[in-house]
Structure 1
Amino acid sequence: MASNSDHDIVLFVKAGSDRECLGCCPFSQRLFMVLWLKGTQFNVTTVDKTTKPKELADIAPGTNPPFVLFDGEVLTDIPRIEEFLESTLSPPKYPSLSPVHPESYLAGNDLFAKFSAWIKCKPDQPNQETLMKRYVLELAKLDAFLKTSLDASQESRLFLDGDRMTLADCNILPKLQVALVAGKKLHDFDLPDAFDGIASYVKNAKACDEFRQTCPDDEEIAWYYGGPKPKPTKRV
Protein backbone atom coordinates (compact mmCIF):
# COMPACT_ATOMS: atom_id res chain seq x y z
CA MET A 1 0.00 0.00 0.00
CA ALA A 2 1.16 3.52 -0.68
CA SER A 3 2.69 5.84 1.90
CA ASN A 4 0.39 8.86 1.56
CA SER A 5 -0.75 9.66 5.09
CA ASP A 6 -2.76 12.89 4.93
CA HIS A 7 -5.63 11.19 6.75
CA ASP A 8 -6.19 8.71 9.55
CA ILE A 9 -8.17 5.91 7.90
CA VAL A 10 -9.30 2.59 9.34
CA LEU A 11 -11.32 0.09 7.33
CA PHE A 12 -13.37 -2.38 9.35
CA VAL A 13 -14.13 -5.59 7.46
CA LYS A 14 -15.91 -8.83 8.22
CA ALA A 15 -13.78 -11.44 9.99
CA GLY A 16 -13.64 -15.05 8.89
CA SER A 17 -13.92 -18.39 10.64
CA ASP A 18 -11.15 -17.78 13.19
CA ARG A 19 -12.44 -14.26 13.98
CA GLU A 20 -9.22 -12.71 12.65
CA CYS A 21 -8.76 -13.68 8.99
CA LEU A 22 -10.54 -12.04 6.06
CA GLY A 23 -14.12 -13.25 5.87
CA CYS A 24 -16.33 -13.87 2.88
CA CYS A 25 -17.81 -10.44 2.26
CA PRO A 26 -17.63 -8.94 -1.24
CA PHE A 27 -18.71 -5.59 0.18
CA SER A 28 -15.75 -5.52 2.57
CA GLN A 29 -13.40 -6.41 -0.26
CA ARG A 30 -14.97 -3.72 -2.42
CA LEU A 31 -13.90 -0.97 0.00
CA PHE A 32 -10.54 -2.66 0.62
CA MET A 33 -9.83 -2.46 -3.11
CA VAL A 34 -10.97 1.16 -3.37
CA LEU A 35 -8.63 2.32 -0.62
CA TRP A 36 -5.72 0.29 -1.98
CA LEU A 37 -6.24 1.65 -5.49
CA LYS A 38 -6.37 5.19 -4.10
CA GLY A 39 -2.80 4.74 -2.90
CA THR A 40 -3.43 6.11 0.56
CA GLN A 41 -2.15 4.69 3.83
CA PHE A 42 -4.83 2.96 5.89
CA ASN A 43 -5.28 0.24 8.46
CA VAL A 44 -7.59 -2.76 8.23
CA THR A 45 -9.35 -4.32 11.22
CA THR A 46 -11.34 -7.54 10.98
CA VAL A 47 -14.53 -7.62 13.03
CA ASP A 48 -16.39 -10.67 14.25
CA LYS A 49 -20.01 -9.62 14.68
CA THR A 50 -20.65 -12.12 17.47
CA THR A 51 -17.81 -10.83 19.66
CA LYS A 52 -17.59 -7.17 18.70
CA PRO A 53 -15.23 -5.39 21.15
CA LYS A 54 -16.82 -2.82 23.44
CA GLU A 55 -14.56 -0.04 22.14
CA LEU A 56 -15.75 -0.77 18.62
CA ALA A 57 -19.37 -0.74 19.74
CA ASP A 58 -18.69 2.69 21.22
CA ILE A 59 -17.25 3.94 17.92
CA ALA A 60 -20.03 2.61 15.70
CA PRO A 61 -22.96 1.34 17.78
CA GLY A 62 -25.25 -0.98 15.85
CA THR A 63 -23.04 -0.87 12.76
CA ASN A 64 -21.81 -4.04 11.09
CA PRO A 65 -18.79 -4.17 8.79
CA PRO A 66 -17.79 -2.94 6.38
CA PHE A 67 -17.46 0.65 7.49
CA VAL A 68 -14.72 3.26 7.56
CA LEU A 69 -13.34 5.50 10.28
CA PHE A 70 -12.02 8.54 8.40
CA ASP A 71 -10.26 11.17 10.54
CA GLY A 72 -12.50 10.15 13.44
CA GLU A 73 -15.73 10.21 11.44
CA VAL A 74 -17.66 6.96 11.03
CA LEU A 75 -18.72 6.35 7.43
CA THR A 76 -21.38 3.76 6.63
CA ASP A 77 -23.35 2.86 3.49
CA ILE A 78 -21.00 1.58 0.81
CA PRO A 79 -22.07 3.78 -2.13
CA ARG A 80 -21.78 6.87 0.05
CA ILE A 81 -18.37 5.78 1.32
CA GLU A 82 -17.17 5.35 -2.25
CA GLU A 83 -18.53 8.76 -3.20
CA PHE A 84 -16.84 10.34 -0.18
CA LEU A 85 -13.49 8.69 -0.89
CA GLU A 86 -13.65 9.61 -4.56
CA SER A 87 -14.29 13.28 -3.76
CA THR A 88 -11.93 13.53 -0.78
CA LEU A 89 -9.00 11.48 -2.09
CA SER A 90 -9.01 13.20 -5.45
CA PRO A 91 -6.54 14.19 -8.18
CA PRO A 92 -3.88 15.31 -8.56
CA LYS A 93 -2.54 13.52 -5.48
CA TYR A 94 -4.86 10.53 -5.68
CA PRO A 95 -6.15 8.80 -8.81
CA SER A 96 -9.75 9.07 -9.89
CA LEU A 97 -11.44 5.67 -9.91
CA SER A 98 -14.59 6.74 -11.75
CA PRO A 99 -15.21 4.83 -15.00
CA VAL A 100 -14.96 6.75 -18.25
CA HIS A 101 -17.88 4.81 -19.71
CA PRO A 102 -21.10 4.97 -17.64
CA GLU A 103 -22.24 1.56 -18.88
CA SER A 104 -19.34 -0.03 -16.98
CA TYR A 105 -21.21 0.66 -13.74
CA LEU A 106 -24.07 -1.58 -14.89
CA ALA A 107 -22.02 -4.56 -16.07
CA GLY A 108 -22.90 -7.65 -14.07
CA ASN A 109 -25.32 -5.75 -11.84
CA ASP A 110 -27.73 -8.71 -11.53
CA LEU A 111 -25.11 -11.46 -11.40
CA PHE A 112 -24.73 -11.72 -7.63
CA ALA A 113 -28.47 -11.80 -6.98
CA LYS A 114 -28.94 -14.63 -9.48
CA PHE A 115 -25.93 -16.49 -8.06
CA SER A 116 -27.23 -16.11 -4.50
CA ALA A 117 -30.63 -17.53 -5.41
CA TRP A 118 -28.99 -20.53 -7.10
CA ILE A 119 -26.30 -21.33 -4.53
CA LYS A 120 -28.81 -21.33 -1.67
CA CYS A 121 -31.12 -23.73 -3.50
CA LYS A 122 -30.61 -27.39 -2.61
CA PRO A 123 -29.74 -29.68 -5.54
CA ASP A 124 -32.90 -31.75 -5.09
CA GLN A 125 -35.26 -28.79 -5.30
CA PRO A 126 -37.29 -28.63 -8.54
CA ASN A 127 -36.26 -25.07 -9.44
CA GLN A 128 -32.53 -25.65 -8.99
CA GLU A 129 -31.84 -26.02 -12.72
CA THR A 130 -33.91 -22.96 -13.56
CA LEU A 131 -32.00 -20.86 -11.05
CA MET A 132 -28.69 -22.12 -12.41
CA LYS A 133 -29.71 -21.16 -15.95
CA ARG A 134 -30.59 -17.66 -14.77
CA TYR A 135 -27.17 -17.35 -13.15
CA VAL A 136 -25.44 -18.61 -16.30
CA LEU A 137 -27.41 -16.08 -18.34
CA GLU A 138 -25.99 -13.27 -16.19
CA LEU A 139 -22.50 -14.68 -16.68
CA ALA A 140 -23.14 -14.66 -20.43
CA LYS A 141 -24.18 -11.00 -20.28
CA LEU A 142 -21.02 -10.05 -18.40
CA ASP A 143 -18.88 -12.05 -20.81
CA ALA A 144 -20.50 -10.30 -23.77
CA PHE A 145 -19.88 -6.90 -22.20
CA LEU A 146 -16.21 -7.70 -21.66
CA LYS A 147 -15.92 -8.62 -25.34
CA THR A 148 -17.71 -5.48 -26.52
CA SER A 149 -15.55 -2.54 -27.58
CA LEU A 150 -16.21 0.62 -25.58
CA ASP A 151 -13.74 2.74 -27.50
CA ALA A 152 -13.08 2.72 -31.23
CA SER A 153 -9.35 3.07 -30.55
CA GLN A 154 -9.19 0.02 -28.25
CA GLU A 155 -10.24 -3.43 -29.44
CA SER A 156 -9.67 -5.19 -26.11
CA ARG A 157 -9.15 -4.17 -22.50
CA LEU A 158 -7.98 -5.63 -19.22
CA PHE A 159 -10.89 -4.57 -17.03
CA LEU A 160 -14.51 -3.45 -17.27
CA ASP A 161 -13.85 0.14 -18.31
CA GLY A 162 -10.38 -0.06 -19.83
CA ASP A 163 -6.85 -1.02 -18.84
CA ARG A 164 -7.11 0.30 -15.29
CA MET A 165 -9.33 -0.78 -12.43
CA THR A 166 -12.20 1.52 -11.52
CA LEU A 167 -15.03 1.59 -9.00
CA ALA A 168 -16.96 -0.69 -11.35
CA ASP A 169 -14.32 -3.41 -10.94
CA CYS A 170 -14.24 -2.93 -7.17
CA ASN A 171 -17.95 -3.69 -7.19
CA ILE A 172 -18.15 -6.70 -9.52
CA LEU A 173 -14.83 -8.52 -9.02
CA PRO A 174 -15.38 -9.52 -5.36
CA LYS A 175 -18.88 -10.78 -6.20
CA LEU A 176 -17.62 -12.66 -9.23
CA GLN A 177 -14.85 -14.27 -7.17
CA VAL A 178 -17.34 -15.45 -4.55
CA ALA A 179 -19.68 -16.81 -7.21
CA LEU A 180 -17.02 -18.74 -9.10
CA VAL A 181 -15.35 -20.18 -6.00
CA ALA A 182 -18.57 -21.16 -4.21
CA GLY A 183 -20.08 -22.57 -7.39
CA LYS A 184 -17.08 -24.82 -7.92
CA LYS A 185 -16.65 -25.97 -4.33
CA LEU A 186 -20.30 -26.57 -3.52
CA HIS A 187 -21.85 -27.56 -6.88
CA ASP A 188 -18.77 -28.49 -8.94
CA PHE A 189 -19.71 -25.70 -11.35
CA ASP A 190 -16.97 -24.70 -13.79
CA LEU A 191 -17.03 -21.50 -15.78
CA PRO A 192 -18.07 -22.53 -19.31
CA ASP A 193 -15.21 -22.43 -21.83
CA ALA A 194 -17.21 -20.06 -24.00
CA PHE A 195 -16.94 -17.39 -21.31
CA ASP A 196 -13.29 -16.72 -22.05
CA GLY A 197 -13.89 -13.00 -21.62
CA ILE A 198 -14.63 -13.56 -17.93
CA ALA A 199 -11.71 -15.98 -17.61
CA SER A 200 -9.31 -13.35 -18.97
CA TYR A 201 -10.86 -10.67 -16.79
CA VAL A 202 -10.35 -12.69 -13.61
CA LYS A 203 -6.81 -13.60 -14.68
CA ASN A 204 -5.98 -9.93 -15.23
CA ALA A 205 -7.43 -9.04 -11.84
CA LYS A 206 -5.45 -11.73 -10.04
CA ALA A 207 -2.27 -10.23 -11.47
CA CYS A 208 -2.99 -7.11 -9.37
CA ASP A 209 -2.28 -6.95 -5.64
CA GLU A 210 -5.31 -4.72 -5.13
CA PHE A 211 -7.53 -7.67 -5.97
CA ARG A 212 -5.46 -10.75 -5.18
CA GLN A 213 -4.34 -9.63 -1.72
CA THR A 214 -7.82 -8.54 -0.65
CA CYS A 215 -9.55 -11.83 -1.49
CA PRO A 216 -10.59 -14.15 1.33
CA ASP A 217 -9.30 -17.70 1.13
CA ASP A 218 -11.38 -19.98 -1.07
CA GLU A 219 -12.16 -22.13 1.97
CA GLU A 220 -13.65 -19.12 3.75
CA ILE A 221 -15.99 -18.58 0.82
CA ALA A 222 -17.04 -22.23 0.79
CA TRP A 223 -17.55 -22.23 4.58
CA TYR A 224 -19.82 -19.19 4.37
CA TYR A 225 -22.10 -21.09 2.01
CA GLY A 226 -22.18 -24.26 4.09
CA GLY A 227 -18.86 -25.95 3.39
CA PRO A 228 -16.46 -27.32 6.03
CA LYS A 229 -14.78 -24.93 8.45
CA PRO A 230 -11.34 -24.01 7.10
CA LYS A 231 -7.94 -23.65 8.64
CA PRO A 232 -7.38 -19.94 7.94
CA THR A 233 -4.01 -18.71 6.74
CA LYS A 234 -4.66 -15.17 5.46
CA ARG A 235 -4.52 -12.41 8.03
CA VAL A 236 -4.36 -8.64 7.90
Structure 2
Amino acid sequence: MKPFPVNLFGKATTLVQLKATGRPLLAAERRYVSEGAIELEPDKDIMEYMRNYSADHYLLTDMKFTAAAIFKENNVEALFNNKWLNTAPNSLAQVMNVLALCFEATHPPILIDNGLAILENEKIERHIMKNIPGGYNLFVQDKEVATLIENLYVKLKLMLVKKDDAKNNVLLSHLKKINDHLANRNTRFLTGDTMCCFDCELMPRLQHIRVAGKYFVDFEIPTHLTALWRYMYHMYQLDAFWIRPPHTAQQQ
Protein backbone atom coordinates (compact mmCIF):
# COMPACT_ATOMS: atom_id res chain seq x y z
CA MET A 1 0.00 0.00 0.00
CA LYS A 2 1.39 3.40 -1.00
CA PRO A 3 1.13 6.67 0.92
CA PHE A 4 -1.67 8.94 -0.23
CA PRO A 5 -0.32 11.22 -3.02
CA VAL A 6 -0.22 14.97 -2.42
CA ASN A 7 0.69 16.65 -5.69
CA LEU A 8 0.69 20.26 -4.43
CA PHE A 9 3.37 19.66 -1.83
CA GLY A 10 5.47 16.98 -3.43
CA LYS A 11 5.61 13.36 -2.31
CA ALA A 12 3.44 12.56 0.70
CA THR A 13 5.25 11.71 3.93
CA THR A 14 4.19 9.15 6.53
CA LEU A 15 5.67 8.66 9.98
CA VAL A 16 5.90 5.63 12.25
CA GLN A 17 6.93 5.14 15.86
CA LEU A 18 7.49 1.93 17.82
CA LYS A 19 6.76 1.86 21.56
CA ALA A 20 6.45 -1.90 21.97
CA THR A 21 8.70 -4.93 22.28
CA GLY A 22 6.43 -7.72 21.04
CA ARG A 23 7.70 -9.53 17.96
CA PRO A 24 4.49 -9.21 15.90
CA LEU A 25 4.30 -5.46 16.55
CA LEU A 26 8.00 -5.08 15.80
CA ALA A 27 7.50 -6.91 12.50
CA ALA A 28 4.46 -4.77 11.69
CA GLU A 29 6.42 -1.57 12.38
CA ARG A 30 9.31 -2.75 10.17
CA ARG A 31 6.91 -3.51 7.36
CA TYR A 32 5.34 -0.07 7.77
CA VAL A 33 8.83 1.45 7.43
CA SER A 34 9.50 -0.66 4.33
CA GLU A 35 6.52 0.99 2.66
CA GLY A 36 8.25 4.36 2.82
CA ALA A 37 7.50 5.74 6.28
CA ILE A 38 10.01 7.77 8.28
CA GLU A 39 10.87 6.01 11.54
CA LEU A 40 10.97 8.16 14.68
CA GLU A 41 12.63 7.38 18.00
CA PRO A 42 10.21 6.19 20.73
CA ASP A 43 10.67 9.35 22.81
CA LYS A 44 10.30 11.74 19.87
CA ASP A 45 7.21 13.97 19.80
CA ILE A 46 5.56 13.61 16.40
CA MET A 47 4.16 17.16 16.33
CA GLU A 48 7.54 18.63 17.25
CA TYR A 49 9.22 16.57 14.54
CA MET A 50 6.76 17.86 11.96
CA ARG A 51 7.34 21.49 13.01
CA ASN A 52 11.13 21.11 12.88
CA TYR A 53 11.02 19.28 9.56
CA SER A 54 8.83 21.98 8.02
CA ALA A 55 11.18 24.71 9.27
CA ASP A 56 14.33 22.91 8.10
CA HIS A 57 12.87 22.37 4.62
CA TYR A 58 11.35 25.86 4.36
CA LEU A 59 7.80 24.53 4.24
CA LEU A 60 4.97 26.89 5.13
CA THR A 61 2.58 24.12 6.08
CA ASP A 62 2.53 20.59 7.47
CA MET A 63 0.29 19.36 4.65
CA LYS A 64 3.15 17.24 3.28
CA PHE A 65 2.50 14.84 6.19
CA THR A 66 -0.51 12.65 5.49
CA ALA A 67 -0.42 9.81 8.01
CA ALA A 68 1.40 8.33 10.99
CA ALA A 69 1.25 5.18 13.08
CA ILE A 70 2.29 4.56 16.68
CA PHE A 71 2.72 0.91 17.65
CA LYS A 72 2.25 0.35 21.40
CA GLU A 73 1.95 -2.78 23.52
CA ASN A 74 -1.80 -2.46 24.16
CA ASN A 75 -2.96 -0.51 21.14
CA VAL A 76 -1.95 0.91 17.79
CA GLU A 77 -2.79 4.48 16.79
CA ALA A 78 -3.54 5.31 13.15
CA LEU A 79 -3.14 9.07 12.71
CA PHE A 80 -3.95 11.32 9.77
CA ASN A 81 -3.62 14.98 8.83
CA ASN A 82 -6.97 16.65 9.49
CA LYS A 83 -6.25 19.05 6.63
CA TRP A 84 -6.46 16.03 4.32
CA LEU A 85 -9.54 14.19 5.61
CA ASN A 86 -9.43 11.78 2.70
CA THR A 87 -6.19 10.34 4.10
CA ALA A 88 -7.97 8.93 7.17
CA PRO A 89 -9.11 5.65 5.57
CA ASN A 90 -5.73 5.24 3.92
CA SER A 91 -3.92 5.64 7.24
CA LEU A 92 -6.19 3.11 8.92
CA ALA A 93 -5.86 0.67 6.01
CA GLN A 94 -2.06 0.83 6.17
CA VAL A 95 -2.06 -0.04 9.85
CA MET A 96 -4.62 -2.84 9.46
CA ASN A 97 -2.67 -4.26 6.53
CA VAL A 98 0.67 -4.55 8.32
CA LEU A 99 -1.00 -5.94 11.45
CA ALA A 100 -2.80 -8.62 9.43
CA LEU A 101 0.39 -9.60 7.61
CA CYS A 102 2.64 -9.77 10.66
CA PHE A 103 0.57 -11.64 13.23
CA GLU A 104 1.27 -15.36 12.98
CA ALA A 105 -1.31 -18.16 12.87
CA THR A 106 -4.92 -17.04 13.11
CA HIS A 107 -5.26 -13.28 12.95
CA PRO A 108 -6.38 -11.74 16.24
CA PRO A 109 -9.58 -9.72 16.50
CA ILE A 110 -8.92 -6.01 16.15
CA LEU A 111 -11.19 -3.30 17.54
CA ILE A 112 -10.89 0.19 16.04
CA ASP A 113 -12.24 2.96 18.27
CA ASN A 114 -11.65 6.58 17.21
CA GLY A 115 -8.53 5.61 15.29
CA LEU A 116 -7.22 3.44 18.13
CA ALA A 117 -6.57 -0.22 17.32
CA ILE A 118 -6.97 -2.61 20.26
CA LEU A 119 -5.68 -6.17 19.91
CA GLU A 120 -6.54 -9.43 21.70
CA ASN A 121 -9.87 -10.54 23.13
CA GLU A 122 -9.23 -9.64 26.77
CA LYS A 123 -7.99 -6.14 25.95
CA ILE A 124 -10.93 -5.56 23.61
CA GLU A 125 -13.37 -6.65 26.32
CA ARG A 126 -11.73 -4.39 28.90
CA HIS A 127 -11.81 -1.46 26.48
CA ILE A 128 -15.51 -1.93 25.75
CA MET A 129 -16.41 -2.36 29.42
CA LYS A 130 -14.42 0.74 30.40
CA ASN A 131 -15.19 3.12 27.52
CA ILE A 132 -18.67 2.23 26.24
CA PRO A 133 -21.66 3.03 28.49
CA GLY A 134 -23.22 -0.26 29.57
CA GLY A 135 -20.49 -2.14 27.72
CA TYR A 136 -19.92 -4.51 30.65
CA ASN A 137 -23.37 -5.99 29.94
CA LEU A 138 -22.12 -7.39 26.65
CA PHE A 139 -19.95 -9.88 28.52
CA VAL A 140 -22.46 -11.32 30.97
CA GLN A 141 -21.75 -14.97 31.82
CA ASP A 142 -24.91 -17.11 31.91
CA LYS A 143 -24.48 -20.80 31.19
CA GLU A 144 -28.24 -21.43 31.14
CA VAL A 145 -28.83 -18.81 28.45
CA ALA A 146 -25.79 -19.92 26.45
CA THR A 147 -27.17 -23.47 26.34
CA LEU A 148 -30.68 -22.24 25.60
CA ILE A 149 -29.86 -20.40 22.37
CA GLU A 150 -27.27 -22.76 20.89
CA ASN A 151 -28.07 -24.98 17.88
CA LEU A 152 -30.98 -22.77 16.79
CA TYR A 153 -29.44 -22.33 13.34
CA VAL A 154 -28.98 -26.08 12.99
CA LYS A 155 -32.69 -26.63 13.56
CA LEU A 156 -33.57 -23.88 11.09
CA LYS A 157 -31.34 -25.50 8.47
CA LEU A 158 -32.91 -28.92 9.02
CA MET A 159 -36.38 -27.43 8.65
CA LEU A 160 -35.42 -25.70 5.38
CA VAL A 161 -33.77 -28.85 3.98
CA LYS A 162 -36.22 -31.53 5.13
CA LYS A 163 -39.39 -29.46 4.76
CA ASP A 164 -41.49 -31.73 6.95
CA ASP A 165 -43.63 -31.31 10.06
CA ALA A 166 -41.20 -33.20 12.27
CA LYS A 167 -38.42 -30.69 11.73
CA ASN A 168 -40.89 -27.81 12.06
CA ASN A 169 -41.89 -29.16 15.45
CA VAL A 170 -38.26 -29.47 16.57
CA LEU A 171 -37.71 -25.77 15.83
CA LEU A 172 -41.03 -24.83 17.43
CA SER A 173 -40.07 -26.73 20.58
CA HIS A 174 -36.80 -24.82 20.79
CA LEU A 175 -38.57 -21.47 20.29
CA LYS A 176 -41.04 -22.39 23.01
CA LYS A 177 -38.18 -23.00 25.46
CA ILE A 178 -36.81 -19.54 24.70
CA ASN A 179 -40.30 -18.09 25.09
CA ASP A 180 -40.74 -19.80 28.47
CA HIS A 181 -37.36 -18.53 29.65
CA LEU A 182 -38.29 -14.95 28.74
CA ALA A 183 -41.69 -15.30 30.38
CA ASN A 184 -40.17 -16.61 33.61
CA ARG A 185 -37.58 -13.85 33.82
CA ASN A 186 -40.02 -11.15 32.69
CA THR A 187 -37.22 -8.91 31.41
CA ARG A 188 -36.74 -7.02 28.16
CA PHE A 189 -33.74 -9.10 27.14
CA LEU A 190 -32.35 -12.56 27.82
CA THR A 191 -30.45 -11.83 31.03
CA GLY A 192 -32.04 -8.58 32.20
CA ASP A 193 -33.26 -5.20 31.03
CA THR A 194 -29.99 -4.42 29.23
CA MET A 195 -28.65 -6.14 26.13
CA CYS A 196 -25.85 -8.65 26.46
CA CYS A 197 -23.77 -10.78 24.10
CA PHE A 198 -26.44 -13.48 23.98
CA ASP A 199 -28.99 -11.01 22.57
CA CYS A 200 -26.52 -10.12 19.83
CA GLU A 201 -26.48 -13.82 18.91
CA LEU A 202 -30.17 -14.65 19.29
CA MET A 203 -31.89 -11.77 17.51
CA PRO A 204 -30.17 -12.26 14.12
CA ARG A 205 -31.14 -15.93 14.30
CA LEU A 206 -34.76 -15.06 15.03
CA GLN A 207 -34.76 -12.60 12.15
CA HIS A 208 -33.40 -15.26 9.80
CA ILE A 209 -36.04 -17.70 11.02
CA ARG A 210 -38.77 -15.17 10.30
CA VAL A 211 -37.49 -14.22 6.83
CA ALA A 212 -36.09 -17.52 5.51
CA GLY A 213 -38.73 -19.64 7.23
CA LYS A 214 -41.59 -17.66 5.72
CA TYR A 215 -40.03 -17.45 2.25
CA PHE A 216 -38.95 -21.07 1.82
CA VAL A 217 -41.40 -23.16 3.86
CA ASP A 218 -44.13 -20.69 4.89
CA PHE A 219 -43.07 -21.02 8.53
CA GLU A 220 -44.07 -18.34 11.02
CA ILE A 221 -43.29 -17.95 14.69
CA PRO A 222 -46.62 -18.61 16.45
CA THR A 223 -48.33 -15.56 17.92
CA HIS A 224 -49.08 -17.41 21.15
CA LEU A 225 -45.35 -17.24 22.00
CA THR A 226 -46.07 -13.81 23.46
CA ALA A 227 -42.88 -13.45 25.52
CA LEU A 228 -40.78 -14.14 22.44
CA TRP A 229 -42.73 -11.60 20.38
CA ARG A 230 -42.38 -9.04 23.16
CA TYR A 231 -38.65 -9.69 23.15
CA MET A 232 -38.45 -9.15 19.39
CA TYR A 233 -40.50 -5.96 19.73
CA HIS A 234 -37.93 -4.52 22.13
CA MET A 235 -35.09 -5.56 19.83
CA TYR A 236 -36.76 -3.95 16.82
CA GLN A 237 -36.81 -0.62 18.67
CA LEU A 238 -33.01 -0.51 18.79
CA ASP A 239 -31.05 1.79 16.52
CA ALA A 240 -29.43 -1.20 14.85
CA PHE A 241 -32.72 -1.91 13.08
CA TRP A 242 -33.50 1.69 12.17
CA ILE A 243 -30.31 3.68 11.57
CA ARG A 244 -28.38 2.86 8.43
CA PRO A 245 -24.62 3.40 8.18
CA PRO A 246 -23.80 6.65 6.32
CA HIS A 247 -22.09 4.86 3.42
CA THR A 248 -25.28 2.86 2.73
CA ALA A 249 -27.75 5.69 3.18
CA GLN A 250 -28.19 6.10 -0.56
CA GLN A 251 -28.48 2.39 -1.26
CA GLN A 252 -31.76 0.55 -1.57
Partner of 1:174: 204
Q: Give me the CA root mean square deviation.
A: 3.9
**2:180 corresponds to which of 131, 144, 156:** 144
Partner of 1:113: 154
**2:188 corresponds to which of 149, 155, 158:** 158
Q: Aligned-pair distance for 1:190?
A: 1.4
TM-score by length of 1: 0.51
**1:85 corresponds to which of 98, 101, 124:** 124
**Cα distance in structure 1, aligned partners of 2:178 and 2:159:** 17
Alpha-carbon deviations, 1:74-116, whole Å to 9, x = none?
A: 77xxxxx5x5532222236543123375433333212121112
Distance 1:98 1:57, change over 3 A: closer
Partner of 2:6: none
**Cα distance in structure 2, aligned partners of 1:56 and 1:179:** 35
Is the CA contact 1:100–1:161 (under 8 Å) kept in the aligned structure 2?
no
Distance 1:165 1:72, change over 3 A: closer
**Cα distance in structure 2, aligned partners of 1:206 and 1:171:** 14
Per residue, is there more strand in 1 or in 2? 2
Partner of 1:99: 140
**Cα distance in structure 2, aligned partners of 1:74 and 1:133:** 43
**Cα distance in structure 2, aligned partners of 1:92 and 1:68:** 16
**Cα distance in structure 1, aligned partners of 2:231 and 2:244:** 17
Q: Aligned-pair distance for 1:59?
A: 6.4
Alpha-carbon deviations, 1:164-200, whole Å to 9, x = none?
A: 1111101111111111111012211111122111111
**Cα distance in structure 2, aligned partners of 1:119 and 1:233:** 32
Is the CA contact 2:110–2:117 (under 8 Å) kept in the aligned structure 1?
no
Is 1:191 equivalent to 2:221 in the alignment?
yes
SS in 1 for 2:154: helix
Bigger radius of gyration among the two:
2
**Cα distance in structure 2, aligned partners of 1:136 and 1:233:** 36
Distance 1:214 1:110, change over 3 A: farther
| 1:1-236 matches, cutoff 5 A | 60=100, 68=110, 70=112, 71-72=116-117, 81=121, 84-91=123-130, 94=133, 95-96=135-136, 97-99=138-140, 101-121=142-162, 123=163, 128-149=164-185, 156-213=186-243
Is the CA contact 1:59–1:74 (under 8 Å) kept in the aligned structure 2?
no
Q: Which has the higher contact order (CA 8 A, sep 6+)?
A: 1
Per residue, is there more helix in 1 or in 2? 2
